[in-house]
Structure 1
Amino acid sequence: MSGWFRQLFAPRWQHPDAERRRQAAGQLDPAQDEGHAALVHLAGDADARVRQAALARFESIDTLLALVDTHPSPELRARLAALLVGAAGSTPLDDRVAWVAKLGDQSLIQEVALHGDNQQLRLAAVAALRDDDEAALIAQACENGIAAVRHAAAVRVSSEAGLQQLVRQARRDKQVARLARERLNALRADAAQQTAAEAERERILSALEQHGHHAWEPLYAGRYRHLQREWEALKDLPSAEQERRYHDACLLCRKTLTDHDAQQHVHAAFDQRREDADQTREGLLEALEETLESLRRSEHLAAQDIDSLRAQKRLLATRWQALSDHHAPDDTLRQRYDRALAEYDRIGHAWERFRARAAEFDQALTACDREALQALLTACAWPDDLPPTTLLARARRSAEQQPTAHSMPDPSQFQRDVDELGVLLERGAFKSASRLHQRLRQRLDQLPEEHRRRHQPTLKRLGAQLAELRDWRGFVAGPKRDQLCQAIAELAEDTQLSDAALDRRHRQLVKEWASLGDAAADRELSTHFRACSDRIHQRLAAWRAALDAERQRNLEAREALCEQLEALLDKPDPEADPDALRDIRDRAREQWRRYSPVPRERAEAVGRRFGRVRHGLQALIDQRAQAIAAAKRELTDAAQALLDSDQPSHHRAEQAKRLQQRWRDLGRAPKGEEQALWREFRGICDRIFANREAERNDRTERARQQLDAMQALIDRLDGWQPATLEDTTILDAAIVEAEALEPLPAGRRSDGMRRRWSGIVRARRERLARLAVCEEVSRWRALQPLLNAHLAADATVLSGQPAGDVEADDSLGGDLLSAHRLRNARRREPPPQAEVEESLARLRVHLALLAGSRVGQQDDPLRLAIQVERLNEGLGRELSKAEELHEVLRELFATGPVPSELWQREAQELDAIFTQLLRLPPP
């Protein structure tokens, strides 16, 4: 079918002409299926008028809502809004309320809430608005025509910004503004309370964290428990981060307490070890002193006693040195130790002198050479308070006997020698017993007869025992000598052994051969043993020469080491560092051990020399360490005095730093005392620094409280607006309170507070000034009855009738009463009318300038003249706007007589000016 036929036979709602389709839409019935389908199709038509006509045929809201997704258009939204608000259609209210609750289009809901035909419908629409769409809620609270709807919308505004906007815009409903202001103040109060709680929690948390980093002090645990109780007393819940920080700070505090307890245990253990060391030192020293005393109290001195004394002295020196490395002895113990060592050296020197001459003593005794014995006793110089050895006692007795021509042996001495021979035989000392037996046989013949008969059997019996001992030694020594000869012969032929091993084995064999003495002596075996020994000596000649050279070098090195240390001790540095001296001592000990071996005949002498030097060096170390300890005790006392002084905390902290620097420069005291002194000194310094930190924290807390108080004052004054002129006292009290908080701590926050405070005070003063102006205008309007009476009296006078005075109320006083009287006087003697007109014009222009109104061009000269006068008068004392207005109104009240026509003409402009003066700035 051609287009013409389609156009001819097609339905009218499908006509190409939009006007025809619009007319057809108005004739379609939506109740019929075809009409409904056609209208649905036309609802999406390209022409707005067609869409509007088609949508106007629908009365069902659900049908229109179904078209929203398929045919959205402004006309569809407008039709739907008209049906919902009740402007069109006859949908029952309950149905419309139900449909509003189901709507999702917020703009459509706002339209229903704003223009609904029923309060219930509007309330349902407000309830359907989303809570996060505060702009829509604020719009309903400010612009809706129903008070209940405005209140319902205002109640749902919850944010601070929304409430502030509602306070500013809700001019139509004072109840809404009041409700918003109350909720805003409550919200701010809650926020301030929450902020204060957060600040308090943060303060406690910061204090706890700072406390965790502080050193221990006596009140540390109490302060920690106090902060814990403050934290637990807070009612609000902390955040996860605050909870973590709290537990970390508690861990730090508990670690400090635990470390202090552990340190106290360590210090107690250290003190106990030091006391044990002193007790050990004293016990060792007492043992050495008892040994020396027992040596002096004994009857005879033997080699075994000297060996025991040397072993005990070595043990004491080793233990004393080891203990002194950790704990320095006190002066009393050191002096006792020096005396004991001096006594030991004296005994040792006497013993060495005796040992060197023992063989000569034996020979002189055998030869009964008294002169030689006397010379040996003098050379030996044995101490008088030291008991002699057995040989030395015999030598003294022999030397003390006076030589005579018929001298005879002493029977008692002979008896003692016989007893000693028996003891020697029991011990198996063959050589000593043989020599003593030979001397006794020679002296037996010199004894008296009775003593000779008494001692001869005993001496014979002891001689038989000596012969038996000689035979036994020979029986035992024969095989041993054969074995030693064979062993030394094999050793001389052995070429695999090293020189050191060969020498060690050779010495052992020679020592065993010499220990046999003359028992079973055989010339052939002796010659064979000596020949083998000589061969070994020749073989070891080069090695022994090198060893002797090395020993000599070691001896020279030890002597040089002793000389260096002696030079150090001869001129000690009074400021020497004990640590450096300890290092010298330790290195000297290592070098001494490294320079070994030395020649045997010089080993003991140089060893005693090194012992004296080492002892002197240790005494110097102890002396310097004690001097440093004394100096550090003085520093500790100075720190304690500094802690107890009344100086500012930062000055005390600076001086404490200087004391710490002096402490470091002094060096180290004895190891035990150094730790104890440092513990005490550091504790005092920590308390000084803790006091400084506490004072800093107090200043910070006071500054924070000062800023918080100023902030609270600013917020309070920011939310307050003066309503009457009497509110000036409130502003003055706030200014006094702010001045009491000055000076604020320096910082950006303080500068911002000052700027904000200045702005608020300036705004409140301006409002009070406007309120003062309004009160002046109000008082002027209250004068209108009296002014009208004056105008009536003026009209009477100007009409030529006699002038009469107007009576004023008793409440009128001050300068207004003077102006009233002046006007009555002017009525009696009227000024020229031109002057009155000029005065009224001038006052009107002055009032216009005060109100900020525009002045006509014809009044520009007056305006300029008044401005000049105001500037000149302001040079002496600047009047406030209210005072200046009062002066102008007083002068206006006193001006007269005024004709009615003139006053009517001027009154219109004056009323406009007064109306403008009554306008207050927005709160």
Structure 2
Amino acid sequence: MKLPAFLSKPRWQSKDAAQRRAAIAHDNDAELVANLGRLAREDVDPGVRIAAARRLADPGIAQTLSRHDTDATVRSQARALWLDLLTGTHPSAPPLAERLRLLKAQEDAELAERIACHAPEPELRRAALEQVTRPALLFERTLADRDAGIRLALVDRLTDEAMLERLAERARKSDKQVSRRARERIETLRIGRGDDTTLEQRARQLCERMEQLLRVPGHADAERELVAQWAAIEAATAPTLRQRFQAARNLLAASREPAPPRAAPAPAEEAPVEAATPAPANESVEATPGADADAVVAPLLAQARFAASLDEAQAARRQQAEQQRALIGELEAALRECAGALESGQTVGAHAAKARSETLRRRIEAPLPKALAALLAEVDTRYGELVRWQRWADNQHRQQLCEDIEALPASGLHPDAVANKVRDAQAAWSRLDALEGGSARAGDLNRRFHAACRAALAPAQGYFRKRHELRQSQAAGIRSLLERQGSLAEDSEDWNTIINLRRETVEALRGLDRVEPRERKALAQALKNGLTALDARIARRDAEIERAKAALIAEAENLAETMPRGAVAAARELQQRWQRAGHGRRARDQAQWTAFRAAVDRVFGKLDAERAERSARDAEARQQAEAICVELEALAAADAPPERGTFARLQAAWDTLRPRDEALARRYADAHERLRDLARRQERARRHARYQAWLERYRLCRALETSSTPIGQAREHWSAAATSDIAAAALEARFDAAQAGAPLPAPDADDAQRDLLVDLELLAGVESPAEDRERRRTRQISRLSARMGGGATHGPAEELASLLQRWCELGVPFDVAFDARLERALLAAVDTLP
């Protein structure tokens, strides 16, 4: 790509994920819009994928990302987008027909519930509610849905009578149709299970409605509906109600007959009601063509109602008589039970039976039979004696209870122990009252006992207040925990927080004994509800992880069967996806991991032989490479240079092996570098040998000139010393002169020697003595002027050789200290040479 085209590349193709997200959010490039689907599915950055999905607003892509994307956040946000699109709350939601089609193709309970609650179109909500089976949500939508038809249809789907009762009561003022339909539904359910009371009420209502039709014109449809409803319950209704309904139907049929002529009396045998009483002989019913139908129907209807009322009154009297007889029988049984309890000494049973007999006696209105009255008198006498004896014994027990409670303040017991003893004593006191059946009260003892209880509990009030504060603090902590549970977003993916909340909830349930008893039930229920909700979230997440891992297992098994090209890379990619899938239930995770590991091992198992062979080859190559390194290190450690061709042979062998061991590669490179450094040092020493040879001969010459070495020894060393091409003739002449005993300083050579020493020090880069600093500055200026004037220049090696040549030609140094300066500058100059 050319540089201008590269620099003008659009933002959505940038390597920076932030740039791509900004481009997707704001740019309108046609190529970008065309690639939104690919970006949503394939981009490496999760933020870019979800941004592209939101910009595209395609239900299919959103659903795919919500199920198969590797990032949990993307899955969560894509699912929220998918729900909004299918619900119709998203600005770019598909048309209603498309959403209806997509809904029918789904089996997602959460989707159906979301649409049922939030979809703006009633048709879509109705279709979603058909998939909803949760009674609680149906109940909620029956009260909250905006469409009256949907609300009424939902009432017919409810089958729980208690729920219908609550629905009817809650909708009593806000939605009378729903309330009425709920009560009708309750009635239908009760009739269906054979409830006699409901059947009778329904039959009476149908009778009354049929009778009301006599005064309502145009009632054919209503009559058919009533007849159909009656047919459903007719077999289970009482005969009197069947007669009443049939009489009303007959009267209704008679009201539709044409009126007879004015002069003709109404024949008695044409009375429309078979069960009604005939009219008196001296009375007749006449009708004029313009008379109201009520003139004909009303008397007949009144007769039917009168007959029904008589039947009902007689039935009521019979029912009341049967109830009284039953009460008398129950009273006799209770008295005999009381007598038996008195005989056997069972005071509790006697009290209970006597109380029941008193209740029954108040409900009986008729006089008692003589035998039963005698039995009642006998039981009353014996019961009175029992009460008196029991009162005496109970008072003795009460006295002991008072003494026990009065001794508690001085006992030194723990406040809880004191409270338990007081509570036990109060329970025993209440049992005594219950045994006496409330027939007596222990006046002074009662006051004494309660005063003793207050006195015993008074010292413990501080402890109880402190415990109450602690319990309130614990309750406040639980309420705070419940608030945090409530504030947790429905689509939250913060599983660490969710797990911690669940752990805290379990701990709070276990610690409910540290809360006030009257608050425990409500808090326990709230905590259980919260725990259930958290468990549901965790279960949904575990199910998603289980599904994702099941898909990975299927892919791994298919990979093991087919073994395509690149199977190893595919298996490793599956392992990475497995790690990203997360952790679900431990047992299920372990089982799935075993299956997945077996499938992946089958992939890698087929490569074991090749891996073993490759390992053997690598080991052999490593040994050979190590041998090369050892040989190369030995050559690098030797003083003499290697034989010709040895290094090339080792390099070729190393290139053939190409070992992958980094340590060996570093070892080889280090030995190689040391060998090359040895060669460079040897070459440099060879080049600089001429200077060392000159220095050695110059030292021998100076030793002879200064008479520090015998002539014979000096001559022997001179003959053995290496020769040098630098000032060879001048040195030879000086040595011969020194042998002859004629080495004298050259006249007027001090300045020249100092100039040469300064030039040599300048060449070597070393400092000159203080007395020659001005000379050095002058020499520097002179050299610079010569160089700038175009004078001939020499390299450092040639210049050094020239300076040494001139030094030898100047003769013996005027100052012995010049030798030290010369040697120091020479060695420094040689070190600077390449």
TM bucket, shorter chain: 0.3 to 0.5
User: TM-score, normalised to structure 1's length?
Assistant: 0.30
Question: Does 1 or 2 have the higher relative contact order (CA < 8 Å, sep 6+)?
Answer: 1
Larger radius of gyration: 1
